[in-house]
A and B are shown apart, each in its own frame.
Chain A
Amino acid sequence: MKRITIPIGPQHPALKEPISLRMTIEGEVIKDADVRLGYNHRGIEKLAESKTYIQNIYLMERICGICSHSHTTCYVQGVEALCELEVPRRGLFIRALVCELERIHSHYLWLGVAAHEAGFDSLFMYTWRDREVVMDLLEIISGNRVHYAINTIGGVRRDLNEIQKEKILEGVEFLKKRMEYYTNLGTTEPSFVGRVSGVGILPEEKAMALCAVGPTLRASRIASDIRKDDPYGAYGEFPFEVCTADTCDVLGRVVVRVKETIESLNIVEYIIRNLPEGEIKVKAPRRIKEGEVVSRYEAPRGENIHYIKSNGTDKPERLKVRAPTLANYPATIEMLKNGFVADIPLIFAAIDPCICCAERFVEIIDERKGSRGIMTMAEIKRKFKKPEIKKDFVWPL
């Protein structure tokens, strides 16, 4: 059969964010896939070099709208390690509380998206309605729904009182019941299970070789979680299990995320019941000591890495962000191979892609010469001169 290449994206109804997927197909079967990035590049890393450490907290928050707390925590942890700050335990507990609530809302959101892609819109509406409960809890804690702005260098900005604690426990109770119902629904509803099982297979050894992260990796039998492997913050104290599945397909990814949400709800309950007394933050210096640091963090989508290099001033010399979605792209290509065209949205949604998180670089390719490389700003200006604008232009109307 003849092979043809079809482009999907950067603008396509099946995609929520701009990314270009090129599929080589033989009939209905995908034989090869290629991912092209760079449609949502915002230059955040360069901008971070011109802002102070305090201003950068709010910039890091705006890398992503769903895992905004993940990026700030990862960044703040790195800066705290650079200036050797000891964060009070209560601060760490509140930080972990927001982390887990964020994971719950992210997984609820993903479950809805996955159900929608599988054509099960009732589940999508139920999960998104219940997600509002988590969003309200986050609003009660931090003041806003999406950008919590609760992290600061040396601790957290807002404390918890008794009324808030009670409300969180109430919400957790309700969400636990709902999640049990979804566990039952997601694993027994025949139409849903029939749609997601056996789709997007990623064998264990391939997942390991292609460096998949997060629930995508855990759905392929590998129990890897930064919270357990390399405990940061107060995570060494919390009792929880790393959830895995052994089906290696989209159903496995559903099961892992549902189990993880239940674990997160248990962690939230543990934090509220064992919240230590004391200060929530310590004073941080404006100028950060010279040095470099790599900070790791388990975001809802997988391992998030921030690299910070300080030169002793109040601004970072270099800040590099490796979002979990970027690490999952090679595995996605493997999952797409030998699948059907109709499964593309489902397989792609199953890694929980966040394109704007992953857009960190731009590569310039000369189409005529075929050369690739990095250019300086002066070179770009010289090469791509602005077209002259006619000053006294009259519209022909």
Chain B
Amino acid sequence: MKLKLGVFIPELLRHLFKRPSTVSYPFEKLNLPKDFRGTPVLRPELCIVCKSCVRDCPAFAIEIETLSEEEKKYRMTIHNDRCIHCAQCVESCPTGALYMNDEYEIATDSRRKLKIEYIYTRPKKAAQKHSEK
């Protein structure tokens, strides 16, 4: 084997005149990819309370409670502290009522602040499937 001294010296010199590879984060942000999975959000007017999101969520982060049977009033709680951001709920939803937004700076000082609640009545007519966000 032929031994050469300092194969990486040209590389080293090149880096003296290069801009940094990082960005100054809180002031400057990178672009998010189109399929980024942030926080799950519900469009209450489309939910038909089939509970397939509750059944499929691997982290048990979605709960649906019945508030009143006659008025068809429900409460959905998304526990964002338990959520693992896999977007399986979005895929399981038959009407497209759930979607993932672009929020990723969700750190807070209390778990309770990460709970998202929606109180809504079920629409009488099954809504049409929502087109892509």
Contacts and interface: CB of A to CB of B under 8 A. Distances in A.
Interface of A: 51-52, 54-59, 61-62, 122-123, 126, 129, 132, 139-140, 142-144, 147, 149, 152, 157-158, 181, 184-185, 187-190, 193
Interface stretch (B80-88, B113-121, B122-130): B80-88
A184 B10 CA distance: 13
**Dominant SS at the A interface?**
helix
B12 A122 contact: yes
A43 to B, nearest CB: 16
B21 A144 contact: no
B8 A123 contact: yes
Nearest to B6: A189
**Dominant SS at the B interface?**
loop
18 contacts: A54-B58, A55-B57, A55-B58, A56-B58, A57-B58, A122-B12, A139-B36, A143-B35, A143-B36, A143-B37, A144-B37, A147-B84, A147-B86, A149-B37, A181-B11, A187-B1, A193-B1, A193-B3
Contact of A149 (B4, B12, B86): B86
Contacts of A62: 84
Contacts of A152: 91
Given A56-B58, A185-B7, 17 more contacts: A54-B88, A55-B58, A57-B58, A122-B12, A126-B11, A132-B21, A143-B33, A143-B34, A143-B37, A149-B37, A149-B86, A149-B88, A152-B91, A184-B7, A188-B1, A189-B7, A189-B8
A122 B5 CA distance: 15
The 8 closest A-B pairs by CB, nearest first: A143-B35, A55-B58, A58-B58, A190-B3, A149-B86, A58-B86, A143-B37, A140-B33
A213 B47 CA distance: 50
B85 A144 contact: yes
B36 A58 contact: no
A185 B3 contact: no
B133 interface: no
B33 to A, nearest CB: 5
Contacts of B35: 142-143, 158
Contact of B87 (A51, A122, A140, A149): A149
Interface in B18-64: 21, 33-37, 55-59
Interface in B63-88: 84-88
A132 to B, nearest CB: 7
Nearest to B30: A136
A133 to B, nearest CB: 10
Given A126-B11, A140-B33, A188 B2 contact: yes
A123 B56 CA distance: 44
A59 B85 contact: no
B86 A122 contact: no
A55 B21 contact: no
A190 B5 contact: yes
Interface centre among A61, A123, A129, A188, by most chain B C-beta atoms within 10 angstroms, is A188
A55 B37 CA distance: 17
A140 B92 CA distance: 23
B91 A157 contact: yes
Contacts of A188: 1-4, 7
A114 to B, nearest CB: 16
B13 to A, nearest CB: 12
B9 to A, nearest CB: 10
Contacts of B92: 54
Nearest to B3: A190
Contacts of B91: 152, 157
Interface in B82-115: 84-88, 91-92
B1 A58 contact: no
B53 to A, nearest CB: 12
A61 B85 CA distance: 12
Nearest to B37: A143
Contact of A55 (B56, B85, B87): B56
A110 to B, nearest CB: 19
B11 to A, nearest CB: 7
A188 B58 CA distance: 49
A184 B3 CA distance: 11
B81 to A, nearest CB: 17
Contacts of A143: 33-37, 87
Contacts of B37: 143-144, 149
A184 B2 CA distance: 11
Contacts of A158: 35
